[in-house]
């Protein structure tokens, strides 16, 4: 077990709102760590619409999702936030008091934090794999049906069925083909959205008889005690056939689920976290919620609202982190101390 990371603020979610909160907290000398379930920074902006223009960011007539994230990263660079990607906050335990909050936070990867404030900027929740419509698939999950490959070695010598037509499906087909006993790729149509060079490699492996490609959908599973023996399939021509397999890897993209936030003891309202509009604090002192994940009278799910919410939450976080200091309001245009923090002093 690694050492506990002590921090002033832990931000859950590295989307635009979580990133800008780093800026507002940084101006107040509050050090941040961020946790995000995705392997990359940027949340929905980077995952769902990196190339789509956004038209309602103040000061930007048009900026793409990825462009906004790149700019925010540049803006928060002076504050050196530390990112913990591909990790999900699994548990939150309160160790402090209402006036001096302290939380012990654990991720699913075993990283442990001790933080004076927790800022939930989780947007629509955590991105989690979509499940295909196959009856009783749950009984096989994590035993022989996997939505992610954690250790390739476990699939050595197995008959592996990979389902899907995107980059994840094709990448794992190519990665596992050399070590699996046999790889079968199944997709609902004979066209693939994955990168063309991966598709070419896959097709040449099929042509050489080194793997199988089947067009159709999996409709059922056969096996015992969660261990697969075969998948029941329907071809695009409605033919029925079975594919023998020890493991199935469905790759149908990601969807957003509230996830473990529901278990952190906060009051929730229809999968959103209610906050006050002065501090954007939840029912638990020291835990804040900003951006799409929160709700209050008049709430608008706009990135710009999340920026505002982060700025106000930061003021309250300061009181917890520096209880004995007085906070004087300053502008970045004129305050030499703020400019020093930003590394732009005249």
Partner 1 sequence: MAKLQFVDFGGTARMVEAPNGSTVMEAAIKNAVPGIEAECGGACACATCHVYIDDAWQAIVGPPTSMEEDMLDFAYDVRPNSRLSCQIKVTDQLDGLILHTPEHQA
Please give the residue ranges that form the binding site for partner 1 (CB under 8 A): 44, 48-49, 52, 124, 130-133, 164-166, 187-189, 191, 193, 217, 252-253, 255-256
Q: First-to-last CA distance in the chain? A: 45
Q: Would you say 125 or 286 has its CB closer to partner 1? A: 125
Q: Tell the smallest beta-carbon distance from residue 218 to partner 1 (Å).
A: 11
Q: Tell the smallest beta-carbon distance from residue 258 to partner 1 (Å).
A: 13
Tokens of 147: 């939505």
Q: Tell the smallest beta-carbon distance from residue 188 to partner 1 (Å).
A: 6
Q: Tell the smallest beta-carbon distance from residue 148 to partner 1 (Å).
A: 15
Tokens of 12: 């859950």
Furthest-apart CA atoms within the chain: distance in Å:
74
* Nearest-10 crossing angle of helices 196-207, 167-176: 40
**Separation between Cα atoms, residue 246 and residue 98, nearest integer Å:** 52
Q: Would you say 252 or 296 has its CB closer to partner 1? A: 252
Instruction: Give the burial class of 133: count Cβ atoms within 10 A of its Cβ; 0-12 exposed, 13-18 middle, 19 or more buried.
Output: exposed
Q: Tell the smallest beta-carbon distance from residue 257 to partner 1 (Å).
A: 8
Q: Would you say 3 or 191 has its CB closer to partner 1? A: 191
Q: Would you say 132 or 260 has its CB closer to partner 1? A: 132
CA nearest to 250, candidates 156, 155, 162, 154: 162
Strand-strand pairing, 182-187 and 212-224 = parallel
Q: Would you say 110 or 253 has its CB closer to partner 1? A: 253
Q: Would you say 101 or 125 has its CB closer to partner 1? A: 125
Q: Tell the smallest beta-carbon distance from residue 150 to partner 1 (Å).
A: 22
Asked if 279 and 288 count as a contact pair (C-beta separation under 8 A), the reply is yes
R_g of the chain, CA atoms, integer Å: 24
Tokens of 233: 């399939």
Tokens of 339: 């400019």
Q: Tell the smallest beta-carbon distance from residue 252 to partner 1 (Å).
A: 5
Asked if 8 and 295 count as a contact pair (C-beta separation under 8 A), the reply is no
Q: Would you say 75 or 217 has its CB closer to partner 1? A: 217
CA nearest to 163, candidates 155, 172, 154: 172
């Amino acid at each position: 077990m690694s050492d506990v990371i002590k921090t002033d603020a832990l931000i859950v979610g590295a989307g635009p709102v979580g990133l800008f909160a780093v800026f507002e907290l940084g101006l107040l000398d509050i050090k941040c760590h961020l946790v995000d379930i995705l392997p990359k920074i940027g949340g929905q902006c980077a995952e769902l619409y990196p190339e789509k223009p956004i038209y309602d960011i103040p000061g930007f007539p048009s900026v793409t999702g990825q462009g906004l994230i790149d700019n925010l990263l540049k803006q928060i660079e002076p504050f050196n936030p530390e990112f913990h990607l591909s990790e999900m906050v699994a548990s939150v335990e309160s160790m402090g008091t209402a006036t001096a909050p302290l939380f012990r936070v654990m991720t699913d990867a075993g990283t442990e934090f001790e933080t004076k404030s927790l800022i939930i900027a989780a947007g629509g929740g955590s991105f989690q794999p979509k499940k295909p419509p196959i009856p009783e698939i749950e009984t096989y999950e994590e035993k022989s049906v996997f939505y992610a490959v954690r250790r390739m070695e476990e699939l050595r010598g197995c008959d592996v069925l990979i389902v899907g037509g995107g980059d994840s499906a094709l990448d794992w087909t190519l990665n596992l083909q050399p070590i699996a006993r046999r790889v079968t790729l199944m997709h609902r149509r004979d066209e693939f959205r994955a990168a063309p060079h991966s598709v070419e490699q896959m097709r040449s492996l099929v042509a050489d008889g080194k793997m199988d490609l089947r067009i159709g959908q999996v409709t059922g599973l056969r096996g015992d005690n969660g261990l697969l023996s075969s998948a029941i399939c329907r071809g695009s021509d409605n033919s029925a056939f079975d594919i023998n397999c020890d493991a199935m890897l469905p790759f149908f993209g990601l969807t957003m689920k509230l996830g473990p936030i529901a278990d952190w003891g906060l009051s929730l309202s229809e999968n959103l976290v209610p906050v006050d509009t002065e501090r954007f604090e939840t029912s638990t002192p020291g835990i804040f919620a900003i951006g799409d994940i929160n709700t209050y009278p008049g709430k608008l799910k706009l990135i710009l609202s999340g920026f505002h919410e982060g700025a106000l939450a930061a003021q309250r976080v300061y009181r917890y982190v520096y209880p004995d200091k007085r906070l004087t309001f300053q502008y970045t245009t004129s305050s030499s101390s703020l400019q020093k923090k930003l590394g732009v002093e005249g």
